[in-house]
Amino acid sequence: MATYDGARFLAEQLESLADQEVLPCELVVCDDGSTDGTPEMVERFAATAPFPVRLYRNERNLGFAENFLKTARLCDGDWVAFCDQDDVWLPNKIGRAAEAIRRDPALCLILQNALICDAALTPDGRIFPDLFREGTYGAGSRYGFWVWPGFLQTFSAKYLDLSSALPLPANYFPGHKMLSHDKWTCLLANATGGIRVLSEPVAFYRRHGAALTGDYGHQTTTDRVSKSLAVGSDHYDFLAAIAQETAAYLRALAKIADAATAGAFRHAARGFDAISAIQTHRSALYSATSLPARLSLVLRIAARGGYVGPGIVALGWKSGAKDLAHALGLFGLLRKVVR
């Protein structure tokens, strides 16, 4: 658990850890300079918790991503579950993940779902993130730039030392300096395979105005389409550069990893080379002025598997529909439709 000024909701989260059907082997907390009594709350909980609790106080503020990875590296277990300070785990969370690991010890990453709630923990009927069907996913099966929320991840500790071996690549979310902890685990798990998705909700995902990731208010289809239409050449240039940096990072990891893992990292790096090329074509598509040039670029993207192809590079039909609509000059009509 990475904490920072979380006293408002922390007690409920800590209580939910103690109420797990399968208890954690330990709770490791790194506090990032709280001034609201958060560390003291953890200390009081440690006095009665049914498992060991270790609290560390950072000498400087690391930010949530670096703090989570530092905390994970301090854990002694073979598997690490990231825990946010303001949610509440249902009693089945650890148990369901542990059951999946027992059935398939070769797994690398367990992904679970949550119920979206307001600040008072009243569910609004949505399951989150509910991105993939329940099942096991192999190497390269997910798009390169993907993420599953960290608090719903249980990650094999066998790769955690790699998180400090090299500087992390830049984040593919603009405005974030480096790859966040949950994106990093997804990157490595997608490179090596062994991702297990469990569909059953196992937590209350508390959304409130002070949440770092926002309140997750309902978005209409019109809102989503409008945001998509606003994304153009500059953003695709940015993604192309990030993909190149990520490919270089994976090749660097391959040099220090064991032979089997090194091969997986090099293969994933080639996937990011392809992503970079595809995003470069998309940037050119959104700055091209002639219809033939735009259509040619759509065909180039399709030929590289950019819409339907290998999971690590394929953007999917929605991106294909957007690119084709832009190539045909239909954005003006679409903007009128979604107003």
Q: Are 292 and 256 in contact (CB under 8 A)?
A: no
Question: Both 253 and 190 in a single domain?
Answer: no
Look at residue 248 and tell me if it is in a domain: yes
Query: Which of these three, 206, 235, 253, is where a domain ends?
Result: 206
Determine the pLDDT at residue 88.
97
Nearest to 97 by CA among 88, 108, 87, 86: 108
Determine the pLDDT at residue 331.
72
- Mean pLDDT, range 22-42, rounded to an integer: 98
Determine the pLDDT at residue 152.
98
Question: Both 329 and 239 in a single domain?
Answer: yes
Q: How many domains does the chain have?
A: 2
Query: Which of these three, 178, 206, 234, is where a domain ends?
Result: 206
Look at residue 141 and tell me if it is in a domain: yes
Question: Domain span at residue 124?
Answer: 2-206
Interval 104-155: pLDDT, tens:
999 999 999 999 999 999 999 999 999 999 999 999 999 999 999 999 999 9
Question: Both 32 and 148 in a single domain?
Answer: yes
Instruction: Say whether pLDDT at 303 is over 80.
Output: yes
Question: Both 186 and 38 in a single domain?
Answer: yes
Look at residue 318 and tell me if it is in a domain: yes
Residue 133, domain CATH:
3.90.550.10
Query: Which of these three, 179, 206, 233, is where a domain ends?
Result: 206
Look at residue 41 and tell me if it is in a domain: yes
Look at residue 324 and tell me if it is in a domain: yes
290: Cβ–Cβ under 8 A, 6 or more apart, which residues? none
Question: Using CA atoms, how far apart are residues 171 and 179, in angstroms rounded to an integer?
Answer: 4
Question: Both 202 and 225 in a single domain?
Answer: no
Determine the pLDDT at residue 231.
79
Look at residue 212 and tell me if it is in a domain: no
Phi and psi torsions of 279, nearest 5°: -70, -30
Look at residue 130 and tell me if it is in a domain: yes
Question: Both 171 and 236 in a single domain?
Answer: no
Determine the pLDDT at residue 225.
57
More confident call, 335 vs 84: 84
Q: Which band of pLDDT confidence, cut at 50, 70 and 90, is reported for residue 176?
A: confident
Look at residue 211 and tell me if it is in a domain: no
Question: Both 197 and 256 in a single domain?
Answer: no
Interval 267-277: pLDDT, tens:
999 999 999 99
Question: Both 148 and 286 in a single domain?
Answer: no
Question: Both 27 and 92 in a single domain?
Answer: yes
Question: Both 310 and 173 in a single domain?
Answer: no
Question: Both 230 and 102 in a single domain?
Answer: no
Q: What angle, rounded to 10 degrees, do the helices at 221-230 and 317-327 form?
A: 60
Interval 205-259: pLDDT, tens:
998 665 555 554 555 666 765 676 677 899 999 999 999 999 999 999 999 999 9
Interval 2-19: pLDDT, tens:
999 999 999 999 999 999
Tokens coding 104: 């398939």
Determine the pLDDT at residue 313.
97
How many angstroms separate the Cα of 157 from the Cα of each of 38, 174, 239? Answer: 26, 28, 29
Question: Both 147 and 242 in a single domain?
Answer: no
Interval 68-110: pLDDT, tens:
999 999 999 999 999 999 999 999 999 999 999 999 999 999 9
